[in-house]
Amino acid sequence: MRSVLCIVLILTLLAGCGRDTDRISQSEKKKEIDIPIILTVDPTSGKKSEQDVIDAFNEEYAGTYHMKVEWIMETEEEYRKNLKRLNVTDELPAVICDVRTLPSFYQMMVADGRIENLTPYLESDEKWREMIEPAVMEGCTDEDGNVYLGPISTAAFACSGMFWNQELFDEAGIDKFPETWEEFWECCEKLQEHGIIPLGLHTEGTGWAPMLIATAEAASTEEGYNFMKELLPESYANDTGLEIAKTLQKLFQYTTEDAIHADYDVAYNNFVSGKVAMIPNGYWMINQLPEEWQEKIRFSAFPENKLIASPETFGWAVVSTYSREIKEGAVEFLKFRTRFNLEEKKELMDKNGRNGSSQLLQDYVNAYNNNPQIVPNYQVKWNSILQEETLGKCLPELAAGKITPTQVVEAANESIRVGEDGRDRPEVLVCVQEFYVEVENRKIVMLSIVSQQPYSLADRLCTMEERRNPS
């Protein structure tokens, strides 16, 4: 009987141990880490940007990491304004994109340490480094030698040229896209003569659609191309700067009446509704077009075989204020995005010309493979005040004939002076000097202005701080 009892006791203990082991194994099991990110839904098509890569990442990293997406239906301009608002309220997600198209915001984020320095991650991961195209790495490397923007892009998906409506060209008797700039302006005239509006343009934000055309034409000369390569030009008061302004003025003779004070979505809607014959944009627009338009629309490099591309333009970054675990997951997503891009590039090149590949896609690949001159995008080269303020003010007035190209150049140069004076960054506050005032036996820190220097959000908001034990 005792033996039986002993056996029962032992089995009971073993069972208990088993349950304890189960509890330990369950507790040791890693919890899936959510990585917050905000991505946009195209307001016109309803398509979710980056849906494919998000789904692929979440499937591959299930149980370890999960990209927690907040899908928002906003225009590009609205999204960028939203980034600034979220930074002020300290609600930025772990991964943000489009940072590089907001130069002053990007510079402020780097200065404040709000963006994670990716250099250590790159140095410790040889496989990731080998996947990165040299031009992409160069473009993502900051002036201090560090990398804050995820070098995830490939030049194959970063090029901008001209989308054009084959049916409207045929209607005007134009059998091919113009190869020279002289032919381009003749094409615009011919389209107008047949009652067809040549271009879909806009003036809001950085006015990047007309700027793509104007800067592509400017790069037709050696002087102009070298100017487009300059980082933060010291002056826009030169032949190239004036020619860009003159081209911008000319372009608005060939667009819709609603282009002035409009954002890009207005231009896009005019294009996909068949109201205009041409619109400048990049590879990403192919997936934004409605399916029924895939065979109607063609793509060409800008005249004289020019494409505009800066792979770092969109600027994916990791917000530094998150936990180590979340930041590591965010970096894993950037690595995954790099690999995903390269696989997409290979697939794109492999299927070119095959059955099932659209004419539009073939056009793009052919333009990319036709040894084009790649013109740097002004959005990553020119000063922030010019982009975020001056262009938005000047373009509508220039288009309406209220100011001259010379005045636009003068305003551009003024943006440089403003920047040098330190007034180009609303995020900049001055350094402070502390002194103490005793109120009801409590010491209050008062702050006095002494010199200019970038300050973080906390510094900007807290002009007075209570300290019980000041050092």
Number of domains in the chain: 3
| Inside any domain, residue 64 | yes
pLDDT at res. 208: 93
* Chain mean position to CA 126: 26
Q: Which residue has the higher pLDDT, 219 or 293?
A: 219
Place of tokens 């180590």: 324
Q: Token pair for residue 448?
A: 């006095």
- Asked if residue 321 is part of any domain, the answer here is yes
DSSP state letter for 40: E
Q: pLDDT per residue over 8-19, tens digit each?
A: 444 444 455 544
Mean pLDDT (the chain) is 83
Q: Of 415, 368, 367, which Cα lies nearest the Cα of 391?
A: 415
Contact between residue 450 and residue 433 where contact means Cβ atoms under 8 Å apart: yes
Output the six-digit token pair for 335.
């690595």
Tokens of residue 208, six digits:
């990047």
327 occurs within a structural domain: yes
34, amino acid identity = D
- Measured on CA atoms in the order 319, 323, 324, 327, is the torsion positive or negative? negative
Within this chain, do residues 249 and 340 fall inside the same structural domain, yes or no?
no
Containing H/E element for 53?
A: helix 51-60
Mean pLDDT calculated for residue range 164-182 = 97
Per DSSP, the three-state class of 394 is helix
Shared domain for 42 and 150, answered yes or no, is yes
Q: Are residues 265 and 116 in the same domain?
A: no
pLDDT at site 11:
46
Alpha-carbon span 94 to 82, nearest angstrom: 15
pLDDT on residue 420: 57
The enclosing H or E element of 179 equals none
Same domain for 167 and 141: no
Transcribe 343-368 into DSSP letters.
HHHHHHHHHTTSTT--HHHHHHHHHH
Least reliable range by pLDDT among 102-116, 146-160, 346-360, 455-469: 455-469
Q: Report whether 108 contacts 454 (CB < 8 A).
A: yes
pLDDT band at 5 (very low <50, low <70, confident <90, very high): very low
Tokens encoding 22: 């189960």
What is the mean predicted confidence (pLDDT) over 437-462? Answer: 38
- Summarize pLDDT for 319-338 with one digit per residue, the tens: 999 999 999 999 999 999 99
Q: What is the pLDDT of residue 358?
A: 84
Q: Do strands 159-165 and 297-300 pair parallel, antiparallel, or not at all (unpaired)?
A: antiparallel
**CA-to-CA separations, 197 to 27, 141, 211, 264, 276, in angstroms, rounded:** 66, 41, 19, 16, 5
Phi, psi of 370 (to 5 degrees): -95, 30
Structure tokens at 337: 């995005």
**H helix or E strand, kind and range, residue 29:** none
Residue 81 host element (H or E):
helix 76-88
Q: Please spell the DSSP secondary structure of 287-352, one letter per residue.
A: HHS-GGGTTTEEEEPBTTTEEEE-TTTT--EEBTTS-HHHHHHHHHHHHHHHHHHHHHHHHHHHHT
- Say how far apart CA 184 and CA 280 lie, in whole Å: 13
Collapsing DSSP states into helix, strand and coil, what is residue 396? helix
296 token code pair = 């109607």
**Mean pLDDT of the region 406-420:** 89
pLDDT bin (cut points 50, 70, 90) of residue 285 is: very high
Tell me, yes or no, whether 44 and 101 share the same domain: yes
**How far is Cα 264 from Cα 266, in angstroms, rounded to an integer?**
5
Max intra-chain CA distance, the chain = 110
CB-CB contact of 31 with 65 (8 Å) = no
Instruction: Tell me the two tokens of residue 352.
Output: 């070119």
Looking at the fold, whether 74 and 222 belong to one and the same domain comes out as no
For residue 283, what are the contacts with CB-CB under 8 A and spacing of at least 6? 156, 157, 158, 159, 160, 364
Q: Which long-range contacts (CB under 8 A, 24 or more apart) does 229-234 make?
A: 229/376, 229/381, 230/381, 231/381, 232/381, 232/382, 232/383, 233/381, 233/382, 233/383, 233/416, 234/416
pLDDT per residue over 343-362, tens digit each?
888 887 876 655 567 889 89
Q: Give a yes or no: residue 120 inside a domain.
A: yes
pLDDT digits (tens, 9 = 90+) for 41-93: 877 677 888 899 999 999 999 999 999 999 998 877 788 788 889 999 999 99
**Same structural domain, 251 and 386:** yes
Residues of the chain with pLDDT > 70: what percent? Answer: 80
Using the predicted structure, report yes or no on whether residue 463 has a pLDDT greater than 80: no
| 377 located within any domain | yes
Query: Terminus-to-terminus CA distance in the chain, angstroms?
Result: 76
The pLDDT of residue 349 is: 80
pLDDT at 356: 60
What's the pLDDT tens digit per position in 248-275? Answer: 999 999 999 999 999 999 999 999 999 9
H helices of 89-231, in order, are: 103-111, 119-123, 126-131, 134-140, 166-171, 181-193, 208-218, 222-229
- Do residue 63 and residue 163 come from a single domain? no
Checking if the pLDDT of 433 tops 80, the result is: no
pTM greater than 0.85 (yes/no): no
CA distance 114 to 118: 12
Q: Which of 322, 320, 388, 347 is nearest to 103 (CA)?
A: 388
200-213: per-residue pLDDT in tens? Answer: 999 998 899 999 99
Domain assignment of residue 1, yes or no: no
Residues 52, 180: one domain? no
Residues paired with 230 in a beta bridge: none
CA 179 to chain centre: 29
Radius of gyration of the chain from its Cα atoms, rounded to whole angstroms: 27
Are 37 and 139 part of one and the same domain? yes
Residues 6+ apart with CB under 8 A from 266: 202, 256, 258, 259
Domain containing residue 59: CATH number: 3.40.190.10
304 and 321: one domain?
Answer: no
Q: Per the domain annotation, does 381 fall within a domain? A: yes
Tokens (6 digits) for 396: 């509508």
Token pair 């271009």 is found at 199
Domain-embedded: residue 414: no
- The residue segments making up the domain with residue 377 are 159-308+360-409
Q: Indicate if 166 and 219 belong to the same structural domain.
A: yes
